[in-house]
Amino acid sequence: MHIREFQDMMRQIYFHHDSKRGAKGTCLWLVEEVEELGEAIKGKDKKALENEFADVLAWLASLANVVDVNLEEAAMAKYNQICPRCKQVPCKCTRNFQP
Ligand SMILES: [Zn+2]
C-alpha cells in the first residue's frame, strides 16, 4: 500500500467526521496521539506501541485530508531519496538531531 492509498482509505472511513471537526480539532487529536506514542515507547508492550504508531499515522492522514494536502506528494517532494538539508545519503548533518 502506498501512502496515498492509506490517506484515501482514511478519507473514505473518516472524512465525514474529520471535515466537521476541522483542522484545529483534528490537529489536537494528532498531538494527543503523539503524546500517547511517547508514553508507549517507555513501556515494553510491543502491541501497544504498534497501536500508537497506527493511531499517529491515521490522525496525520486525517489532518492532511482536512487541509487538502497529499501526504505522499508532500513527503516525496521534500524527502526524495536524500536528506533535504545536506543532500547526502546517509545524512551527514551534525546539528539539530541531538536529543
Ligand atoms: Zn542531512
- Ligand 1 centroid distance, CA of 87 (Å): 6
- Ligand 1 centroid distance, CA of 56 (Å): 24
User: How many helices (DSSP H) and strands (DSSP E) are in the chain?
Assistant: 3, 0
Burial of 57 (0-12, 13-18, 19+ CB in 10 A): middle
- Ligand 1 centroid distance, CA of 75 (Å): 16
Question: For the whole model, what pTM was predicted?
Answer: 0.91
What tens digit of pLDDT does each residue of 27-71 get?
A: 999 999 999 999 999 999 999 999 999 999 999 999 999 999 999
* Mean pLDDT calculated for residue range 14-28: 98
- Ligand 1 centroid distance, CA of 73 (Å): 20
- Ligand 1 centroid distance, CA of 17 (Å): 38
Output b/e per residue, 80-90; b: 16+ Cβ within 10 A. eeeeeeeeeee
* Mean pLDDT calculated for residue range 69-93: 95
Asked if the model's pLDDT at residue 11 lies above 90, the reply is yes
Distance between first and last Cα of the chain: 32
- Percentage of the chain beyond pLDDT 70 is 96
- Class level of CATH domain 3-78: mainly alpha
Domain limits, the chain: 3-78
